[in-house]
Homo-oligomer: A and B are copies of this chain.
């Protein structure tokens, strides 16, 4: 069973999909509206939406002939939680680890 973070980070690793998420943060959007800003076929855009949906980042519901998509921030929160594991490495103003490496480089013994 591939970890959920795999799907989440993979979904986020594409600028088209990140832009779609941004638009979704303004509210529910049909797939066609999500596709419109990109020079891309509707089917291509729909496949991106499916990637987001399978990662649990959006939830789609059919309304008439439209498929309305809405943001589902749960996995984003999980991904953020994972990232903050390293907060201590960047939080204290500087890269503490990088500083250590540099110091060791300049004074190797």
Contact = CB atoms under 8 A, between A and B. Distances in A.
Q: What number of copies of this chain does the assembly contain?
A: 2
A22 to B, nearest CB: 8
A21 B106 CA distance: 25
A61 B6 contact: no
A37 interface: no
Interface in A56-96: 59, 61, 70-74, 76-77, 79-80, 82-87, 89-90, 95
Interface of A: 2-3, 5-6, 8-10, 12-15, 18, 21-22, 25, 28, 59, 61, 70-74, 76-77, 79-80, 82-87, 89-90, 95, 97-98, 101, 105
Closest 7 CB pairs of A and B: A9-B13, A73-B89, A10-B13, A77-B90, A80-B83, A9-B12, A73-B90
